[in-house]
Structure formats: structure tokens, C-alpha cells
Amino acid sequence: AYFALQVIYARRKYKISPPETTGHPEFERIFRAQANCSEYFPIFISLLWVAGIFFHQGVATVCGLLYLYTRFKYFQGYAVAAQGRLGPLYASARLLWLLLGLAVAGLLAHFLLP
């Protein structure tokens, strides 16, 4: 919701009416950052859910909070400059891979161990 509100504020600030997605470069970066975060959210939620149920809730929670923080930093960095997104992007990708590993380990343990 925070990211969507930032797009709304940027639309007002730069006078860009929906459905337009182009205009001022800062608006375009904010819009793209919000869209990128929205695209990854279903993957994140699915992995968080499976890792929390089948591996460990506490570990999944910590990974989830770290992921949300790195996405917040990604959004902030992207809003300033396109290069500002790279560090948090790589960190959030590593956290998604970690969640995937935890989910797979939990599923394997659940279904293969007696």
C-alpha cells in the first residue's frame, strides 16, 4: 500500500493522470519500482507461506521481514536513481532464494521423513 500511495503522490506532484505511465523521469522510476515490487509479491507470499508452514515460522518471519525491508530500500533507491536499486535488489533476490530453499527443505522433510 505504501508503494501505491507513493505513485499517487507522484502523479499529483507531476500532474500525470491515469492511465498514463510516462512523464517526468522521477515519476517513471517511482511507477516502475512499484510495479516491480508488485510483480514479485505473489512469489514472496507463496514462499513465505510454505516456508512458515513446513520449515519454521520464526525463521520464515525473519526472512520475510528482511525481504520487506530490502524491498523498501529498493523502492527508495529506485526513486532517487535507477542505479540505487541494485544493492537492495540483489539482497531481496538472495532472500527469495533462501525462502525457496527453506520451503523445499520443509516440504522434503514433511513428505519424506516418517
In this structure, what DSSP letter does residue 83 have?
G
Annotated catalytic residue, options 11, 29, 85, 94: 85
Q: Is 94 a catalytic residue?
A: no
Q: How far apart are CA 9 and CA 18, in angstroms?
A: 12
Do residues 37 and 75 make contact, with C-beta atoms less than 8 angstroms apart? yes
Report H helices in 1-85: 2-14, 25-54, 57-80
Q: Tell me, yes or no, if 71 is annotated catalytic.
A: no
Active-site residue among 12, 29, 32, 94?
A: 12
Q: In this structure, what C-alpha cell is assigned to residue 69?
A: 525491508
Active site residues: 12, 85
